[in-house]
Structure 1
Amino acid sequence: MIKTTKTYPSGGGHMRVAFVDDDSNELKILHTYFNDLTDPSTISIDDFSSGEEFLSRFTAGLYDLVVLDIFMGDLTGVDVARKIRETDHNVRLVFCTTSNDFASESYEVDACYYLLKPYTETNVKSMLDRLNLAELERTRSLSLPDGQSVLLRDIIYADYTSHRMVFHCKKSGDIISRLSFAEVEPKLCAYPYFYSSSRGIIVNFYEVFMQKDDTFIMSNGSYLPISRRKAKDVISAYSSFRFQQLRKGGVV
Protein backbone atom coordinates (compact mmCIF):
# COMPACT_ATOMS: atom_id res chain seq x y z
CA MET A 1 0.00 0.00 0.00
CA ILE A 2 1.23 3.50 -0.86
CA LYS A 3 0.88 6.16 1.80
CA THR A 4 0.86 9.83 0.99
CA THR A 5 2.48 11.75 3.82
CA LYS A 6 4.41 14.86 4.55
CA THR A 7 7.40 15.15 6.81
CA TYR A 8 4.55 15.34 9.27
CA PRO A 9 2.02 12.52 8.45
CA SER A 10 -0.95 13.65 6.39
CA GLY A 11 -3.88 12.23 4.45
CA GLY A 12 -5.71 13.20 1.32
CA GLY A 13 -4.75 15.11 -1.74
CA HIS A 14 -5.24 18.63 -0.39
CA MET A 15 -4.06 20.46 2.64
CA ARG A 16 -6.60 19.16 5.16
CA VAL A 17 -7.89 21.69 7.69
CA ALA A 18 -10.48 21.35 10.46
CA PHE A 19 -12.35 24.25 12.07
CA VAL A 20 -13.88 23.41 15.46
CA ASP A 21 -16.20 26.12 16.80
CA ASP A 22 -19.74 26.08 18.18
CA ASP A 23 -20.48 29.53 16.69
CA SER A 24 -21.65 29.09 13.08
CA ASN A 25 -21.19 32.79 12.31
CA GLU A 26 -17.56 32.67 13.41
CA LEU A 27 -17.03 29.62 11.20
CA LYS A 28 -18.44 31.47 8.19
CA ILE A 29 -16.15 34.45 8.79
CA LEU A 30 -13.11 32.20 9.13
CA HIS A 31 -14.05 30.39 5.91
CA THR A 32 -14.33 33.69 4.07
CA TYR A 33 -10.86 34.83 5.12
CA PHE A 34 -9.29 31.44 4.34
CA ASN A 35 -10.86 31.44 0.88
CA ASP A 36 -9.66 34.98 0.21
CA LEU A 37 -6.13 34.40 1.47
CA THR A 38 -5.37 30.88 0.20
CA ASP A 39 -5.85 28.88 -2.98
CA PRO A 40 -9.15 26.99 -2.39
CA SER A 41 -8.14 24.33 -4.93
CA THR A 42 -5.32 23.16 -2.65
CA ILE A 43 -7.07 23.28 0.74
CA SER A 44 -10.11 21.36 1.94
CA ILE A 45 -11.83 22.42 5.17
CA ASP A 46 -14.11 20.39 7.45
CA ASP A 47 -16.34 22.20 9.97
CA PHE A 48 -17.25 20.81 13.38
CA SER A 49 -19.68 22.45 15.81
CA SER A 50 -18.29 20.76 18.94
CA GLY A 51 -15.22 19.04 20.26
CA GLU A 52 -17.19 15.81 20.63
CA GLU A 53 -18.22 15.86 16.96
CA PHE A 54 -14.64 16.47 15.88
CA LEU A 55 -13.15 13.70 18.04
CA SER A 56 -15.72 11.20 16.73
CA ARG A 57 -14.21 11.69 13.26
CA PHE A 58 -10.60 12.40 14.09
CA THR A 59 -7.77 9.97 13.40
CA ALA A 60 -4.04 10.65 13.59
CA GLY A 61 -2.66 12.04 10.32
CA LEU A 62 -6.06 13.07 8.97
CA TYR A 63 -5.44 16.83 9.23
CA ASP A 64 -2.53 19.16 8.62
CA LEU A 65 -4.07 21.97 10.68
CA VAL A 66 -6.80 22.07 13.36
CA VAL A 67 -8.21 25.46 14.40
CA LEU A 68 -9.89 25.13 17.81
CA ASP A 69 -12.15 27.55 19.62
CA ILE A 70 -11.24 27.37 23.30
CA PHE A 71 -14.68 28.00 24.82
CA MET A 72 -17.07 25.29 23.64
CA GLY A 73 -19.72 23.26 25.49
CA ASP A 74 -18.55 20.37 27.64
CA LEU A 75 -15.18 19.95 25.95
CA THR A 76 -12.98 23.03 25.65
CA GLY A 77 -10.53 23.49 22.82
CA VAL A 78 -7.73 22.64 25.25
CA ASP A 79 -9.48 19.36 26.16
CA VAL A 80 -9.76 18.50 22.48
CA ALA A 81 -6.12 19.41 21.88
CA ARG A 82 -5.00 17.08 24.68
CA LYS A 83 -6.95 14.22 23.10
CA ILE A 84 -5.40 15.01 19.70
CA ARG A 85 -1.90 14.92 21.15
CA GLU A 86 -2.46 11.43 22.57
CA THR A 87 -2.15 10.02 19.04
CA ASP A 88 -1.01 12.83 16.73
CA HIS A 89 2.08 14.80 17.71
CA ASN A 90 2.58 16.48 14.34
CA VAL A 91 -0.67 18.17 13.30
CA ARG A 92 -0.51 21.93 13.73
CA LEU A 93 -2.90 23.32 16.34
CA VAL A 94 -4.25 26.86 16.52
CA PHE A 95 -6.36 28.14 19.43
CA CYS A 96 -9.04 30.80 18.91
CA THR A 97 -10.14 32.92 21.84
CA THR A 98 -10.89 36.44 23.02
CA SER A 99 -8.10 36.38 25.62
CA ASN A 100 -4.69 34.88 26.37
CA ASP A 101 -5.83 33.16 29.59
CA PHE A 102 -4.94 29.71 28.27
CA ALA A 103 -1.41 30.51 27.15
CA SER A 104 0.20 27.95 29.48
CA GLU A 105 -2.10 25.18 28.23
CA SER A 106 -1.23 26.06 24.65
CA TYR A 107 2.44 25.32 25.41
CA GLU A 108 1.46 22.01 26.98
CA VAL A 109 -0.14 20.75 23.74
CA ASP A 110 2.42 22.45 21.49
CA ALA A 111 -0.04 24.84 19.84
CA CYS A 112 1.63 26.93 17.17
CA TYR A 113 -0.56 30.03 17.17
CA TYR A 114 -3.13 32.02 19.15
CA LEU A 115 -5.79 33.54 16.88
CA LEU A 116 -7.65 36.30 18.69
CA LYS A 117 -11.34 36.95 18.15
CA PRO A 118 -13.11 38.72 16.58
CA TYR A 119 -11.47 37.49 13.39
CA THR A 120 -10.11 40.06 10.98
CA GLU A 121 -8.46 39.58 7.62
CA THR A 122 -5.27 41.02 9.10
CA ASN A 123 -4.97 38.59 12.00
CA VAL A 124 -5.93 35.56 9.87
CA LYS A 125 -3.29 36.59 7.33
CA SER A 126 -0.73 36.94 10.13
CA MET A 127 -1.58 33.42 11.26
CA LEU A 128 -1.22 32.00 7.74
CA ASP A 129 2.09 33.79 7.28
CA ARG A 130 3.36 32.32 10.55
CA LEU A 131 2.15 28.81 9.69
CA ASN A 132 3.67 29.06 6.22
CA LEU A 133 1.31 26.53 4.62
CA ALA A 134 3.08 26.87 1.29
CA GLU A 135 6.26 25.60 2.90
CA LEU A 136 4.31 22.82 4.61
CA GLU A 137 3.05 21.73 1.21
CA ARG A 138 6.63 21.41 -0.01
CA THR A 139 7.36 18.79 2.68
CA ARG A 140 4.78 16.26 1.47
CA SER A 141 6.13 12.90 0.41
CA LEU A 142 4.97 9.57 -0.95
CA SER A 143 5.89 6.50 1.11
CA LEU A 144 6.38 3.47 -1.12
CA PRO A 145 5.75 -0.16 -0.08
CA ASP A 146 9.44 -1.02 -0.39
CA GLY A 147 10.39 1.55 2.24
CA GLN A 148 11.48 4.32 -0.12
CA SER A 149 10.07 7.82 0.21
CA VAL A 150 9.64 10.35 -2.60
CA LEU A 151 9.26 14.07 -1.93
CA LEU A 152 6.31 15.12 -4.09
CA ARG A 153 7.67 18.51 -5.10
CA ASP A 154 10.99 16.87 -6.03
CA ILE A 155 9.28 14.80 -8.74
CA ILE A 156 9.64 16.15 -12.28
CA TYR A 157 7.56 13.38 -13.77
CA ALA A 158 6.86 9.68 -13.23
CA ASP A 159 6.51 6.98 -15.85
CA TYR A 160 5.69 3.29 -15.97
CA THR A 161 7.99 0.90 -17.80
CA SER A 162 8.91 -2.78 -17.51
CA HIS A 163 6.47 -3.32 -14.62
CA ARG A 164 8.09 -0.56 -12.59
CA MET A 165 7.35 3.06 -11.75
CA VAL A 166 10.25 5.44 -12.22
CA PHE A 167 10.07 8.76 -10.36
CA HIS A 168 12.38 11.23 -12.10
CA CYS A 169 13.42 13.71 -9.39
CA LYS A 170 15.37 16.95 -9.33
CA LYS A 171 17.52 16.26 -6.29
CA SER A 172 17.12 12.54 -5.65
CA GLY A 173 17.72 11.28 -9.17
CA ASP A 174 15.61 8.37 -10.43
CA ILE A 175 13.70 6.43 -7.78
CA ILE A 176 12.46 3.07 -9.04
CA SER A 177 9.81 0.89 -7.40
CA ARG A 178 7.95 -2.23 -8.55
CA LEU A 179 4.48 -0.68 -8.59
CA SER A 180 1.68 -0.56 -11.12
CA PHE A 181 0.63 2.70 -12.73
CA ALA A 182 -2.87 2.12 -11.33
CA GLU A 183 -1.46 2.19 -7.79
CA VAL A 184 0.44 5.43 -8.25
CA GLU A 185 -1.81 7.57 -10.48
CA PRO A 186 -4.64 8.21 -7.97
CA LYS A 187 -2.15 9.04 -5.21
CA LEU A 188 -0.22 11.61 -7.24
CA CYS A 189 -3.13 12.99 -9.24
CA ALA A 190 -5.06 13.72 -6.06
CA TYR A 191 -2.84 16.81 -6.04
CA PRO A 192 -3.80 19.56 -8.52
CA TYR A 193 -0.24 19.91 -9.82
CA PHE A 194 0.04 16.29 -10.99
CA TYR A 195 -1.68 15.07 -14.14
CA SER A 196 -1.42 12.06 -16.44
CA SER A 197 -0.63 13.58 -19.82
CA SER A 198 -0.58 10.25 -21.64
CA ARG A 199 -0.66 6.56 -20.90
CA GLY A 200 1.92 5.63 -18.27
CA ILE A 201 3.14 9.21 -17.67
CA ILE A 202 2.36 11.61 -14.81
CA VAL A 203 3.59 15.20 -15.11
CA ASN A 204 4.32 17.65 -12.30
CA PHE A 205 2.96 20.96 -13.62
CA TYR A 206 5.42 22.87 -11.42
CA GLU A 207 8.22 21.34 -13.51
CA VAL A 208 6.80 22.12 -16.96
CA PHE A 209 9.20 24.48 -18.69
CA MET A 210 7.00 24.90 -21.76
CA GLN A 211 3.96 23.41 -23.44
CA LYS A 212 4.45 23.13 -27.18
CA ASP A 213 1.50 21.75 -29.15
CA ASP A 214 1.17 18.12 -28.04
CA THR A 215 4.29 18.07 -25.87
CA PHE A 216 5.39 19.16 -22.40
CA ILE A 217 9.03 20.22 -22.18
CA MET A 218 10.11 19.58 -18.61
CA SER A 219 12.62 21.38 -16.41
CA ASN A 220 15.20 18.61 -16.97
CA GLY A 221 14.87 18.84 -20.76
CA SER A 222 12.62 15.80 -21.17
CA TYR A 223 9.93 15.91 -23.87
CA LEU A 224 6.70 14.26 -22.70
CA PRO A 225 3.78 13.59 -25.04
CA ILE A 226 0.24 14.80 -24.51
CA SER A 227 -2.06 12.12 -25.86
CA ARG A 228 -4.54 13.21 -28.49
CA ARG A 229 -7.37 11.52 -26.63
CA LYS A 230 -6.67 13.43 -23.40
CA ALA A 231 -5.36 16.67 -24.91
CA LYS A 232 -8.37 18.85 -24.12
CA ASP A 233 -8.50 17.81 -20.44
CA VAL A 234 -4.73 17.94 -19.97
CA ILE A 235 -4.35 21.41 -21.46
CA SER A 236 -7.36 22.66 -19.50
CA ALA A 237 -5.87 21.34 -16.24
CA TYR A 238 -2.49 22.90 -17.01
CA SER A 239 -4.08 26.25 -17.92
CA SER A 240 -6.03 26.21 -14.66
CA PHE A 241 -2.83 25.48 -12.72
CA ARG A 242 -0.98 28.34 -14.44
CA PHE A 243 -3.87 30.72 -13.75
CA GLN A 244 -3.78 29.85 -10.05
CA GLN A 245 -0.04 30.50 -9.94
CA LEU A 246 -0.47 33.90 -11.60
CA ARG A 247 -3.28 34.68 -9.20
CA LYS A 248 -0.91 33.97 -6.29
CA GLY A 249 1.75 36.18 -7.81
CA GLY A 250 3.63 33.46 -9.67
CA VAL A 251 5.03 31.86 -6.52
CA VAL A 252 5.84 28.17 -7.04
Structure 2
Amino acid sequence: MKIAIVEDDIQMYEHLQTCLYELLGSSAEYIYFPSGEFFLQTWQPGTFELIILDIFMDRLTGMDVAREIRKSDREVRLVFSTTSNEFASESYEVNACYYLLKPFGKDRVKAMLDRIDLAQLEKMRTVQLPDGTTIVLRDIIYADYAAHCTTLHCKHGRNSSVRANFSEIEKLLSAYPYFFSPSKGLIVNFYEVAAQNADTFTMSDGCLIPISRRKAKEVKEAYSSFLFEQLRKGGKN
Protein backbone atom coordinates (compact mmCIF):
# COMPACT_ATOMS: atom_id res chain seq x y z
CA MET A 1 0.00 0.00 0.00
CA LYS A 2 1.38 3.41 -0.96
CA ILE A 3 0.55 6.57 0.98
CA ALA A 4 1.50 10.03 -0.32
CA ILE A 5 1.98 12.83 2.20
CA VAL A 6 1.95 16.29 0.62
CA GLU A 7 3.14 18.67 3.34
CA ASP A 8 5.43 21.72 3.24
CA ASP A 9 6.37 21.42 6.94
CA ILE A 10 9.01 18.68 7.24
CA GLN A 11 8.50 18.34 11.00
CA MET A 12 4.77 17.85 10.53
CA TYR A 13 5.47 15.22 7.86
CA GLU A 14 7.88 13.35 10.18
CA HIS A 15 5.29 13.40 12.99
CA LEU A 16 2.55 12.08 10.69
CA GLN A 17 4.83 9.45 9.18
CA THR A 18 5.76 8.24 12.69
CA CYS A 19 2.09 7.93 13.67
CA LEU A 20 1.27 6.04 10.49
CA TYR A 21 4.21 3.68 10.90
CA GLU A 22 3.24 2.86 14.48
CA LEU A 23 -0.24 1.94 13.24
CA LEU A 24 0.51 0.31 9.88
CA GLY A 25 4.15 -0.73 10.15
CA SER A 26 5.87 -1.97 7.00
CA SER A 27 2.56 -2.87 5.35
CA ALA A 28 2.55 0.64 3.86
CA GLU A 29 5.08 2.73 1.95
CA TYR A 30 5.16 6.43 2.87
CA ILE A 31 6.26 8.88 0.18
CA TYR A 32 6.89 12.54 0.97
CA PHE A 33 6.19 15.51 -1.30
CA PRO A 34 7.22 18.98 -0.03
CA SER A 35 4.77 20.86 -2.27
CA GLY A 36 1.67 20.42 -4.37
CA GLU A 37 3.61 21.35 -7.49
CA PHE A 38 6.21 18.63 -6.93
CA PHE A 39 3.50 16.05 -6.27
CA LEU A 40 1.61 16.81 -9.49
CA GLN A 41 4.84 16.71 -11.53
CA THR A 42 5.42 13.06 -10.61
CA TRP A 43 1.96 11.69 -9.81
CA GLN A 44 0.10 9.23 -12.02
CA PRO A 45 -3.50 8.01 -11.45
CA GLY A 46 -3.60 4.74 -9.55
CA THR A 47 -0.19 5.23 -7.91
CA PHE A 48 -1.46 5.67 -4.35
CA GLU A 49 -4.24 4.24 -2.19
CA LEU A 50 -4.24 7.27 0.14
CA ILE A 51 -3.12 10.87 -0.38
CA ILE A 52 -2.87 13.18 2.65
CA LEU A 53 -2.84 16.84 1.64
CA ASP A 54 -1.93 19.85 3.73
CA ILE A 55 -4.49 22.51 2.80
CA PHE A 56 -2.43 25.60 3.57
CA MET A 57 0.62 25.39 1.29
CA ASP A 58 2.30 28.10 -0.79
CA ARG A 59 1.19 28.52 -4.42
CA LEU A 60 -0.95 25.40 -4.95
CA THR A 61 -3.12 24.65 -1.91
CA GLY A 62 -4.21 21.17 -0.93
CA MET A 63 -7.63 21.92 -2.39
CA ASP A 64 -6.04 22.93 -5.72
CA VAL A 65 -4.11 19.66 -5.80
CA ALA A 66 -7.22 17.64 -4.91
CA ARG A 67 -9.16 19.16 -7.81
CA GLU A 68 -6.37 18.15 -10.20
CA ILE A 69 -6.32 14.62 -8.80
CA ARG A 70 -10.06 14.20 -9.23
CA LYS A 71 -9.86 15.06 -12.93
CA SER A 72 -8.40 11.61 -13.59
CA ASP A 73 -8.63 9.55 -10.38
CA ARG A 74 -12.01 9.17 -8.69
CA GLU A 75 -11.05 6.21 -6.49
CA VAL A 76 -8.04 7.28 -4.42
CA ARG A 77 -8.79 8.20 -0.80
CA LEU A 78 -8.12 11.89 -0.06
CA VAL A 79 -7.53 13.29 3.42
CA PHE A 80 -6.93 16.94 4.26
CA SER A 81 -4.50 17.85 7.03
CA THR A 82 -5.27 21.32 8.34
CA THR A 83 -5.48 23.67 11.31
CA SER A 84 -8.96 24.85 10.33
CA ASN A 85 -12.24 23.42 9.10
CA GLU A 86 -13.02 26.43 6.93
CA PHE A 87 -12.71 24.37 3.74
CA ALA A 88 -14.96 21.59 5.00
CA SER A 89 -17.78 22.44 2.60
CA GLU A 90 -15.40 22.45 -0.38
CA SER A 91 -14.09 19.02 0.57
CA TYR A 92 -17.37 17.50 -0.63
CA GLU A 93 -16.54 18.76 -4.11
CA VAL A 94 -13.48 16.49 -4.30
CA ASN A 95 -15.00 13.65 -2.25
CA ALA A 96 -12.48 13.88 0.57
CA CYS A 97 -13.03 11.24 3.23
CA TYR A 98 -11.50 12.84 6.32
CA TYR A 99 -10.29 16.06 7.92
CA LEU A 100 -7.20 15.52 10.06
CA LEU A 101 -7.15 18.56 12.31
CA LYS A 102 -3.79 19.79 13.58
CA PRO A 103 -2.33 19.33 16.10
CA PHE A 104 -2.98 15.60 16.13
CA GLY A 105 -1.61 12.50 17.81
CA LYS A 106 -1.67 8.79 17.05
CA ASP A 107 -5.25 8.39 18.32
CA ARG A 108 -6.57 10.88 15.78
CA VAL A 109 -4.56 9.29 12.97
CA LYS A 110 -6.00 5.90 13.98
CA ALA A 111 -9.52 7.36 13.83
CA MET A 112 -8.73 8.56 10.31
CA LEU A 113 -7.53 5.11 9.22
CA ASP A 114 -10.59 3.46 10.75
CA ARG A 115 -12.88 5.87 8.94
CA ILE A 116 -11.40 5.34 5.49
CA ASP A 117 -11.08 1.55 5.99
CA LEU A 118 -7.68 0.97 4.40
CA ALA A 119 -7.85 -2.71 5.35
CA GLN A 120 -10.83 -3.18 3.05
CA LEU A 121 -9.12 -1.10 0.37
CA GLU A 122 -6.04 -3.34 0.55
CA LYS A 123 -8.20 -6.42 0.02
CA MET A 124 -9.44 -4.95 -3.26
CA ARG A 125 -6.00 -3.93 -4.55
CA THR A 126 -5.18 -5.16 -8.06
CA VAL A 127 -2.01 -5.64 -10.07
CA GLN A 128 -1.51 -5.68 -13.83
CA LEU A 129 0.11 -8.81 -15.23
CA PRO A 130 2.60 -8.71 -18.13
CA ASP A 131 -0.16 -9.67 -20.60
CA GLY A 132 -2.23 -6.65 -19.58
CA THR A 133 -4.85 -8.44 -17.49
CA THR A 134 -5.51 -7.36 -13.92
CA ILE A 135 -5.97 -9.56 -10.88
CA VAL A 136 -6.93 -8.91 -7.25
CA LEU A 137 -3.77 -9.55 -5.23
CA ARG A 138 -5.51 -10.96 -2.19
CA ASP A 139 -7.37 -13.49 -4.39
CA ILE A 140 -4.06 -15.19 -5.24
CA ILE A 141 -3.34 -18.30 -3.14
CA TYR A 142 -0.05 -19.24 -4.79
CA ALA A 143 1.72 -19.12 -8.14
CA ASP A 144 3.77 -21.77 -9.91
CA TYR A 145 5.83 -21.93 -13.08
CA ALA A 146 5.96 -24.67 -15.71
CA ALA A 147 6.49 -24.87 -19.48
CA HIS A 148 7.26 -21.16 -19.84
CA CYS A 149 3.94 -20.26 -18.19
CA THR A 150 3.12 -18.93 -14.71
CA THR A 151 -0.22 -19.96 -13.25
CA LEU A 152 -1.79 -17.87 -10.51
CA HIS A 153 -3.99 -20.16 -8.43
CA CYS A 154 -6.81 -18.03 -7.04
CA LYS A 155 -9.80 -18.31 -4.75
CA HIS A 156 -13.03 -19.82 -6.11
CA GLY A 157 -11.07 -21.58 -8.87
CA ARG A 158 -10.50 -18.37 -10.81
CA ASN A 159 -7.00 -19.29 -11.91
CA SER A 160 -5.06 -17.16 -14.35
CA SER A 161 -2.15 -18.24 -16.56
CA VAL A 162 0.28 -15.87 -18.21
CA ARG A 163 3.12 -16.62 -20.58
CA ALA A 164 5.93 -14.78 -18.85
CA ASN A 165 9.24 -15.46 -17.16
CA PHE A 166 8.80 -16.44 -13.53
CA SER A 167 11.22 -13.68 -12.54
CA GLU A 168 8.77 -11.09 -13.92
CA ILE A 169 5.91 -12.42 -11.81
CA GLU A 170 8.11 -12.82 -8.75
CA LYS A 171 9.31 -9.21 -9.01
CA LEU A 172 5.72 -8.03 -9.44
CA LEU A 173 4.34 -9.90 -6.44
CA SER A 174 7.31 -9.61 -4.08
CA ALA A 175 6.74 -5.85 -4.00
CA TYR A 176 4.00 -6.75 -1.49
CA PRO A 177 5.23 -8.12 1.88
CA TYR A 178 2.73 -10.98 2.04
CA PHE A 179 4.11 -12.74 -1.05
CA PHE A 180 7.21 -14.91 -0.76
CA SER A 181 9.00 -17.60 -2.79
CA PRO A 182 9.70 -20.67 -0.61
CA SER A 183 11.09 -22.72 -3.50
CA LYS A 184 12.22 -22.19 -7.07
CA GLY A 185 9.27 -21.48 -9.35
CA LEU A 186 6.77 -21.00 -6.51
CA ILE A 187 5.30 -18.00 -4.70
CA VAL A 188 2.86 -18.16 -1.80
CA ASN A 189 0.48 -15.61 -0.36
CA PHE A 190 1.09 -15.70 3.41
CA TYR A 191 -2.53 -14.70 4.02
CA GLU A 192 -3.57 -18.01 2.44
CA VAL A 193 -1.25 -20.28 4.47
CA ALA A 194 -3.40 -22.65 6.55
CA ALA A 195 -0.49 -24.46 8.23
CA GLN A 196 3.30 -24.57 8.20
CA ASN A 197 5.51 -27.61 8.71
CA ALA A 198 9.28 -27.88 8.53
CA ASP A 199 9.31 -28.47 4.79
CA THR A 200 5.84 -27.48 3.51
CA PHE A 201 3.13 -24.86 3.56
CA THR A 202 -0.45 -26.10 3.48
CA MET A 203 -2.45 -23.55 1.57
CA SER A 204 -6.11 -22.61 2.03
CA ASP A 205 -7.10 -24.75 -0.98
CA GLY A 206 -5.37 -27.80 0.51
CA CYS A 207 -2.37 -27.66 -1.81
CA LEU A 208 1.04 -28.51 -0.28
CA ILE A 209 3.84 -26.11 -1.24
CA PRO A 210 7.41 -27.33 -0.59
CA ILE A 211 9.92 -25.21 1.29
CA SER A 212 13.44 -25.71 -0.01
CA ARG A 213 16.12 -26.60 2.53
CA ARG A 214 18.34 -23.87 1.18
CA LYS A 215 15.72 -21.21 1.93
CA ALA A 216 14.21 -22.76 5.08
CA LYS A 217 15.63 -20.21 7.52
CA GLU A 218 14.76 -17.25 5.28
CA VAL A 219 11.22 -18.56 4.76
CA LYS A 220 10.68 -19.11 8.49
CA GLU A 221 11.85 -15.59 9.32
CA ALA A 222 9.67 -14.02 6.62
CA TYR A 223 6.54 -15.92 7.67
CA SER A 224 7.18 -15.24 11.37
CA SER A 225 7.54 -11.51 10.62
CA PHE A 226 4.28 -11.59 8.68
CA LEU A 227 2.44 -13.33 11.54
CA PHE A 228 3.85 -10.91 14.09
CA GLU A 229 2.73 -7.93 12.01
CA GLN A 230 -0.77 -9.39 11.70
CA LEU A 231 -0.93 -10.07 15.43
CA ARG A 232 0.15 -6.50 16.14
CA LYS A 233 -2.70 -5.27 13.94
CA GLY A 234 -5.24 -7.60 15.54
CA GLY A 235 -5.04 -10.81 13.51
CA LYS A 236 -5.18 -11.95 9.89
CA ASN A 237 -7.57 -9.97 7.68
Is contact 2:191-2:236 (8 Å) kept?
no
Residue identity opposite 2:89 in structure 1 = S
User: Does residue 138 of the first structure (1) align with residue 123 of the second (2)?
Assistant: yes
- 1:147 offset after TM fit, Å? 5.0
Give the % identical residues.
56
CA 188–65 in structure 1, closer or farther in 2 if over 3 Å, else same: same
Structure 1 residues 108-187: aligned runs within 5 Å: 108-146=93-131, 148-187=133-172
Match of 2:46, SS? coil
RMSD of equivalent CA atoms: 1.6
Q: In 2, Cα distance between the equivalents of 1:32 and 1:23?
A: 14
Alignment-derived partner of residue 61 in structure 2: 76
For residue 240 of structure 1, what is the aligned residue in structure 2?
Answer: 225
- Counterparts of 1:165 and 1:19, CA distance in 2: 36
Distance 2:21 2:212 in 1: 34
* Of 78, 86, 99, the match for 1:101: 86
Which of 166, 179, 199 is matched with 1:214 structurally? 199
* Off by >6 Å, runs of 4+ in structure 1: none
Which residue in the other structure is 1:17 paired with? 3
Ranked by relative contact order (alpha carbons within 8 Å, sequence separation 6 or more), the top structure is: 1
Q: What is the aligned counterpart of 1:59 among 36, 44, 51?
A: 44
SS at match of 1:171: helix
Unaligned residue ranges in structure 2 (runs of 5+): none
* TM-score, normalised relative to structure 2: 0.93
Asked if residue 28 in structure 1 is aligned to residue 10 in structure 2, the reply is no
CA offset at residue 225 of structure 1?
Answer: 0.8
Question: Does the 8 Å CA contact 1:154/1:172 hold for their aligned counterparts?
Answer: no
CA distance in 2, matches of 1:63, 1:187: 16
Structure 1, unmatched stretches of 5+, are 1-14
Letter in structure 2 aligned against 1:94: V
